[in-house]
Amino acid sequence: MTVDAVRDIFRRVLEPDASSVGPPGVGAPGIGADSDFFALGGDSLLATRVLSAVARECGVELTFDDLLRAPTPAGLAGTIARTIASVPR
Amino acid sequence: MRVVVVGAGLAGLTAADDLAAAGADLTVLEARDRVGGRTHGIEVAAGSWVDAGGAYLGDRHTRLHALLSELGLKTTPTTMTGASRFALDAGGQPQTRPGRFPPLRAVALGELFDRLDQLATAVRVDAPWLTPDAATLDSLTAAQWAEQNLPHRDARRFFPLFLGELMAADPATVSLLHVAFYLRSGGGAGYLNAFQGGAQQDRVDGGAHQLCQLLAGRLGQRPRRSGRLGQRLRLAEPVRAIHQDGAGATVHAAGGAYHADAVVVAVPPLLADAIEFRPELPVRRAGERTGRGCAVKVHLVYPAPLWREHGLSGWSLSTAGPLLSTVDDSPPDGAVGVLTGFVTGAQARQFAGRTAAAQQAAVRAQAAHLFPQLPPPISVHITDRLTAQYSRGCYAALFGPGDWTRRGPHLTTPHHWVHWAGTETSTEFFGLMEGAVRSGHRAATEILSRYQPAGRSQ
Ligand SMILES: Cc1cc2nc3c(=O)[nH]c(=O)nc-3n(C[C@H](O)[C@H](O)[C@H](O)COP(=O)(O)OP(=O)(O)OC[C@H]3O[C@@H](n4cnc5c(N)ncnc54)[C@H](O)[C@@H]3O)c2cc1C
């Protein structure tokens, strides 16, 4: 999953009203690759929705602690990539 | 214009305040020997008041904030920093975790919140009975929905705790349409659940009961245009019947009959339903399946907020109960430490049936298990009276299957000279103090716009 795709998930979860009108796939203007989800106003409830979206979109189940350790789009995309790589195929 | 207001809770007194300001000749009839209804302060230590009823508010609760500042009341933030305690496995030891997130599968909870969000987004919040598929949504209980839609065990485990905390609801009795409506009405699950930035951000410094006390005081000070003497507010005056004819209404209370050009009934639906109306209401205000909501607040008082010294926020979540959650409600001056425990939903019904001694013992045992690092509380205050006779539903009535589709369209429709207020008549912030305030303003506006032009002659 790309950094932009994670940014898009952050945006949909944090700004639900914007996601219903904005075109998908366009990164959110206020959300950079290194923006911290919790500093952007995300809380634990919204965090679970980031994780369910990640699971839905790339089949990887991360934990709440994964997001706490890597709370940015770049960080989370890295975690996702490492998790996929570590799964034996 | 003579107006009788039935019920001196936040809704009734807000309506009365607006009507008195506009010059109406007003009488407020209250069943209890105090004002405030579901807001109620108790003094847990000299000068330290806590809320046994409604307590928390957020920035979106704009009418409540306006009222607070008009009355000179301040708010204080709810503290929520530090780690939480979780007792989610029967028999196991509680665990400490950073923040508020329970040790459950995050993806399972995320799916739960995604689904709840879909339901809430689809609701026609101003008229839930017009929601697409309203009949189906209103035929299911939340428990039936969870059974069919939540594949993960952790989501099924968390759902009752969440509904209990948020709405004091037992999933087995509340309508799914009501849950969806409630979430939307309160600003979404995220807003309703959050402390900072959400509906629990602040409390009223010194207690929310002060709102009604100050409103009642102001009512007594307003000059009466008619020049007649007499008290505007009558306590211990339960209303039993309202009879109406072409000329107006007669409100029959324990202590006498009151004639009025208009009436505001500002009591919860199950109590409005206990009033005899002549002519009868087209649809009853509550029915067999209308739930009472059940919440018992427990205050554990410590010499100081000692949990903070252990890096704990005071927040905890337990599946076994009786306290399903606890939160730090210490007064800002730090004179004492207060943990508020919530017993809600099915737990509350069981708990309320126990003796006072058994309740105390159960709470103290649970506190010792959850917070072994703390000394025993100095005192434990248990308020289940609020669920009693003149509230019948805490935090608010819970509409059961069929209620919204049958009763919804009549929720705010005047019955001849009778207008409706109360938090359960507000489609905005239903069940909350904000909803009560908004409903009071609405009822007053309805009456003033209906009668004012003719009343100008004086
Ligand atoms: C334990 C608890 C916790 C809560 N927590 C929160 C919270 O944190 N935040 C929040 O916003 N809200 C909370 N609420 C809800 C909030 O308190 C209510 O929404 C609000 O106070 C309701 O106001 P009301 O005027 O609509 O009804 P009420 O306060 O119930 O007022 C109705 C009044 O009518 C009187 N009455 C009833 N029948 C008659 C009769 N026949 N004749 C005359 N008088 C009658 C009653 O005695 C009462 O005084 C909580 C409620 C409870 C119980």
Ligand 1 center to B39 CA (angstroms): 6
Question: Any residues with CB less than 8 A from the CB of B329 and at least 6 apart, and which?
Answer: B50, B51, B55, B78, B203, B299, B338, B339, B340
Structural domain boundaries, residue B276: 2-37+209-288+402-450
pLDDT value for B225 = 55
- B266 lies in the same domain as B412: yes
Interface test with B, best of A64, A68, A69, A79 (most B CBs within 10 A): A64
- B305 lies in the same domain as B361: yes
pLDDT value for B80 = 86
Mean pLDDT of B178-190: 96
Between B265 and B451, residue with greater pLDDT: B265
Counting the structural domains of chain B, the total is 3
Question: Residue A29 is which amino acid?
Answer: P
Judged against a pLDDT cut of 70, whether residue B111 lies above it is answered with yes
Which helix or strand (DSSP H or E) is residue B445 part of? helix B433-455
Ligand 1 center to B158 CA (angstroms): 27
Domain boundary among B336, B354, B384: B384
Domain boundary among B384, B414, B431: B384
CATH number at residue B308: 3.90.660.10
For residue B434, which atom of ligand 1 is closest to its CA? 11
pLDDT value for A23 = 45
Ligand 1 center to B279 CA (angstroms): 27
The residue whose CA is least distant from atom 33 of ligand 1 is B7
Which helix or strand (DSSP H or E) is residue A10 part of? helix A3-14
Give me the DSSP letters along B200-246.
TSEEETT-THHHHHHHHHHHHHSPPTT---S-SEESS--EEEEEEET
Q: How confident is the model at residue B400 (pLDDT cuts 50, 70, 90)?
A: very high
Q: Which residues of B touch A63 (CB under 8 A)?
A: 105-106
Test A47 with B101 for CB contact under 8 angstroms: yes
Test A48 with B98 for CB contact under 8 angstroms: no
Residues in A lying within 8 Å of B, measured between beta carbons: 16, 41, 43-53, 55, 61-64, 67-68
pLDDT value for B208 = 98
Mean pLDDT of B326-332: 95
What rounded mean pLDDT belongs to chain B?
A: 93
Mean pLDDT of B104-117: 96
Judged against a pLDDT cut of 90, whether residue B389 lies above it is answered with no
Ligand 1 center to A2 CA (angstroms): 50
In A, minimum Cα distance to B188 occurs at A16
Question: Any residues with CB less than 8 A from the CB of B328 and at least 6 apart, and which?
Answer: B78, B79, B80, B305, B307, B308, B313, B314, B315, B337, B338, B339, B340
DSSP B4: E
Which segment of B28-32, B230-234, B240-244 scores lowest on mean pLDDT? B230-234
Q: How confident is the model at residue B393 (pLDDT cuts 50, 70, 90)?
A: low
Nearest residue to B440 (alpha-carbon basis) of B63, B126, B24: B63
Q: How confident is the model at residue B387 (pLDDT cuts 50, 70, 90)?
A: low
Q: How confident is the model at residue B91 (pLDDT cuts 50, 70, 90)?
A: confident
CB-defined contacts A:B, below 8 A: 60
Q: Is residue B207 in contact with ligand 1, taking CB distance under 6 Å?
A: no
- B330 lies in the same domain as B352: yes
Residue B140 in domain: yes
Which segment of A77-81, B91-95, B451-455 scores lowest on mean pLDDT? B451-455
Judged against a pLDDT cut of 80, whether residue B215 lies above it is answered with yes
The Cα B223–Cα B74 span in angstroms is 27
pLDDT value for A20 = 44
Nearest-CA distance B110 → chain A (Å): 4
Judged against a pLDDT cut of 90, whether residue A61 lies above it is answered with yes
Out of A48, A55, A62, closest to residue B113 by CB: A48
Q: How confident is the model at residue A26 (pLDDT cuts 50, 70, 90)?
A: very low
Which segment of B167-171, B222-226, B350-354 scores lowest on mean pLDDT? B222-226
Test A44 with B114 for CB contact under 8 angstroms: no
Mean pLDDT of A7-12: 95
- B239 lies in the same domain as B265: yes
Q: How confident is the model at residue A19 (pLDDT cuts 50, 70, 90)?
A: very low
Judged against a pLDDT cut of 50, whether residue B370 lies above it is answered with yes
- B278 lies in the same domain as B305: no
- B143 lies in the same domain as B121: yes
In B, minimum Cα distance to A48 occurs at B110
- B127 lies in the same domain as B177: yes
Ligand 1 center to B167 CA (angstroms): 14
For A10, B141, B391, the CA distances from B426, given in Å and listed in that order, are 33, 22, 17
Mean pLDDT of B315-340: 94
CATH architecture of A3-14+35-86: Orthogonal Bundle (1.10)
Between A74 and A29, residue with greater pLDDT: A74
Which segment of B16-25, B215-224, B239-248, B417-426 scores lowest on mean pLDDT? B215-224
Judged against a pLDDT cut of 60, whether residue A21 lies above it is answered with no
Nearest-CA distance A18 → chain B (Å): 14
Out of B114, B194, B196, closest to residue A49 by CB: B114
pLDDT value for B455 = 47
pLDDT value for A89 = 59
- B121 lies in the same domain as B162: yes
pLDDT value for B384 = 78
Q: Which residues of B touch A46 (CB under 8 A)?
A: 190
Q: How confident is the model at residue B231 (pLDDT cuts 50, 70, 90)?
A: confident
- B301 lies in the same domain as B433: no
Residue B167 in domain: yes
Mean pLDDT of B404-422: 97
For B128-170, write each residue's pLDDT tens digit: 999 999 999 999 999 999 999 999 999 999 999 999 989 988 8
- Helix intervals (H) in B230-352: 269-272, 345-352
Q: Is residue B37 in contact with ligand 1, taking CB distance under 6 Å?
A: yes
The Cα B72–Cα B65 span in angstroms is 10
Ligand 1 center to B455 CA (angstroms): 31
For residue B10, which atom of ligand 1 is closest to its CA? 25
% of chain B exceeding 90 in pLDDT: 83
Nearest residue to A27 (alpha-carbon basis) of A53, A51, A6, A49: A6
CATH number at residue B113: 1.10.405.10
Q: Is residue B339 in contact with ligand 1, taking CB distance under 6 Å?
A: no
- B230 lies in the same domain as B283: yes
Mean pLDDT of B246-258: 95
Q: Which residues of B touch A55 (CB under 8 A)?
A: 107, 110
Between B455 and B189, residue with greater pLDDT: B189
For B258-283, write each residue's pLDDT tens digit: 999 999 999 999 999 999 999 999 99
With a cut of 0.90, is the ipTM above it?
no
For residue B342, which atom of ligand 1 is closest to its CA? 1
- B266 lies in the same domain as B338: no
Judged against a pLDDT cut of 60, whether residue B230 lies above it is answered with no
Domain boundary among B352, B384, B416: B384
CATH number at residue B15: 3.50.50.60
Q: Which structure tokens are listed for B396?
A: 């608010």
What rounded mean pLDDT belongs to chain A?
A: 86
The residue whose CA is least distant from atom 41 of ligand 1 is B239
- Counting DSSP H helices and E strands in chain A, the numbers are 5, 0
- B283 lies in the same domain as B423: yes
- Counting DSSP H helices and E strands in chain B, the numbers are 14, 21
